[in-house]
Amino acid sequence: MLIRAASRLRRRLPQPVALPPTAQARAALGAVIGLLLSGLLSHIALGWAAPGAHIAWLVAPMAASAVLLFCVPASPLAQPWSVIGGNVVSALTGVACAQLIPEPMLAAPLAGGLAIAMMFLLRCLHPPGGAAAMTAVLGGDAVREAGFAFALAPVGLNAVLLVVAALAYNRLTGAHHAHAPVKPSIVDDEDLDAALEHFGEPLDVSREDLATIVHDAEQHAAERRARGLRAGEVSVAPVARLAPDQPLSSAREQLLRHGVPALPVVDGEGRLLGLLTQAQLLRAASEAEMRSLGSRARLALVSLAGMREAQRVGDLMTAGVAVNDTQPATEAAALAARLGLARVPVVDAKGMLAGMTGPAEVLAALHGAAMERAA
């Protein structure tokens, strides 16, 4: 029964933060190192500046700041100005409230609310700042005696040292406090601003990072849709078809007239036999020119070897270049790219020519779907 209850409780818990175990360990170790260095250096500095004074060398809100600095360093709430400015401004607000309002029951909530207002005003919103403001009110005699100096030391000193430690540690371990913006393909900055304004609530993500997330989501969605597309869904009818007994001169005229690099070769029933390309026709023309230089010797060699000169499409075409209409469209695009062709033939289960497709058709299908969703 206890196991079932624990299992139900686990299912109702929110999803965990999307950090792999190694990143979680990196963040926890960084917080330990950052807080230790901040506290140790503050203790040394304050002991030297005010020997014998009862001054706290490390304040509790720094632990909350460490969560942001080492777990989500790219967050707008974890940027250096947010951490330092938010803590110092909030501490100053808390000291002012403590001096103006003797009753802590009133001064503490007021300090927390005014600290939020000041952080919004100065663009340094930092959640631990609320705790720094209340610490200035509820910190006891030592904090009251320090007065406004409490906001500079230990609060400001702690914050500066913790930020420096986080910047160094995160840089060494590969975490980033800011990401290079990547522009989404169909979403502009004004679209992001309008969406954020319509959302109506502050998000713990910068516009630049939001743009990067949108861009990455578009890329993953495109890849997922591409995997779902079948070659038959993105195939187009060929501009012309060739017959195996068609003269090469006639095939060359069709390729040039339609301006395509290749045409499919089919039998009388429409079954695919092969593919004829411009490159094959060029090679045939080059060989014909060579034959004209020594036609008698060339013809003698050809007859002795039992070879037949290419005169018709069936003599020159390449067989086996095709994809089934049920294969992924990406495989057709990859085959076309590998062979240097714009399109490759698509056949159905009976081997009948169903159309032609290539990278352009796949991209057009993906782009059309994206534009429909954007509209």
What are the sequence ranges of the domains in the chain? 16-173, 232-374
Q: What is the pLDDT of residue 46?
A: 87
pTM of the model: 0.56
Question: Helix crossing, 128-138 with 61-71: angle to 10°?
Answer: 170
Q: What is the pLDDT of residue 132?
A: 96
**Tokens matching residue 248:** 């090469």
Residue type, 19: L
328 forms beta bridges with 230
**Tokens matching residue 235:** 């195939």
Q: What is the pLDDT of residue 375?
A: 44
Q: What is the pLDDT of residue 6?
A: 63
Beta-carbon contacts of 230 under 8 Å, excluding residues fewer than 6 positions away, are 325, 326, 327, 328, 329
Beta-carbon contacts of 324 under 8 Å, excluding residues fewer than 6 positions away, are 231, 346, 347, 348, 349
CATH number of 232-374: 3.10.580.10
Q: What residues in the chain have per-residue pLDDT under 70? A: 1-2, 4-18, 52-54, 178-187, 201-209, 218-227, 287-310, 367-375
Q: What is the pLDDT of residue 77?
A: 92
